[in-house]
A and B are shown apart, each in its own frame.
Chain A
Amino acid sequence: MRADLKRRSMLAATVMTVPLLTAACKGVGGLGTRPKAGPDVAMLQGAIDTEQALIARYRLAIAGSPGLARTLSPLLAQHREHLARLTSMLIEPASPSATPRSSPSSSAPVGNGSDPSATLAGLETAETDAASSLTGRLALAPPALAQLLASIAASEASHALLLRAHGAGG
């Protein structure tokens, strides 16, 4: 399966790399015509953006509520695993910039650190939204990516369950 993922990413990356090289040969003027990423790459990039946004939220939450670190750190570590696995499917850097291009679940409040239960509730919503977002990408994904997205979505749904349990005083 891992080999299958790699093969797919090679194919996907080839689609992106060749036009970029062509553009480079034309000099600076050619850079204006940056090729559109293929649908697989765009889907993968969307999932990567989702994970980056979640990682940022967890870091912020832990900084604001250090008392929650014991609960949140293992979940943050799993998001880093998600991000690494997704990024490994791209040969190109995950994103031209190191920061997330978008924050798919930015509508949910993350909590300001003074209220741990609000922080937990905000993260729970963000996890649920992220799982839904990944599930929504399933239908059009190539098989190996679909399996990875489904597994990550299941992981994030279970994160939400755990956060809810902790928020309830568990």
Chain B
Amino acid sequence: MTASPGPATAGPATTGPATTDPAPSGLTLSGAATGGTAAALQAALAAENAAIYGYGVVGGQLGTAARNRALRDWTQHEVARDQLEAMLTSLGVKPVAAQPAYQLPFPVHGTSAAISLAGYLEDRVAAAYLGIVALDNSRLRVWAAAQARACALRATTWLGRTAAFPGLSSGSGRAAAAGPSASP
């Protein structure tokens, strides 16, 4: 499922993707469409919240250069989170709150596990954005597709390899994916 042209821990030394895709503004939705739209946006928001928590863990395990990369990606997820919250608010829906802590999918000790976690987080967030791509709103679709693309680019930068089906590869479908699940 994945291609691995280089060492797993040596990502391409390129600058990361520029992800300043503006959120679709002036969202106009019929009442009937709002329920599904809100659910998909909430799922993406939950995934972004989990990723933001996860990147904090990632950054804590890395040296300076890689930690700066994690910080940059962390910031991009915060921007996306803010956009999702604004969209939900404009629909009259209360955005889901971040959990104080999240259960990690595997123990994260050291650089290699931290990089694996970053790749995992990006795939889960991409999966949630594909849930928005399934909506009928074409502007939201295009925006969410750009977000999924940004996730794939960040994952490739971390892992040094590409996936054939970002966001679809782990088989757990679409909007249900929210990264690490909340712990009590």
Contacts and interface: CB of A to CB of B under 8 A. Distances in A.
Nearest to A143: B134
Contact of B152 (A138, A143, A157): A157
Q: Is chain A's binding surface mostly helix, strand, loop or mixed? A: helix
Contacts of A81: 1, 164-165
Contacts of B148: 150-151, 154
Category for how many chain B residues contact A: 35 or more
A140 to B, nearest CB: 8
A165 interface: yes
A155 B164 contact: yes
Interface string B138-156: 1001101110110111011
29 contacts: A1-B174, A74-B3, A74-B161, A77-B3, A78-B162, A78-B164, A135-B142, A139-B141, A147-B167, A148-B168, A150-B144, A150-B145, A150-B148, A151-B165, A151-B167, A151-B168, A152-B165, A154-B148, A154-B151, A154-B152, A154-B167, A155-B165, A157-B149, A158-B156, A161-B14, A161-B17, A165-B13, A166-B12, A168-B14
Q: Which 5 pairs between the two chains have the least Cβ-Cβ distance? A: A74-B3, A165-B12, A139-B138, A154-B152, A143-B134
Interface of B: 1-6, 12-14, 17, 126, 129-130, 133-136, 138, 141-142, 144-146, 148-149, 151-153, 155-157, 160-168, 173-174
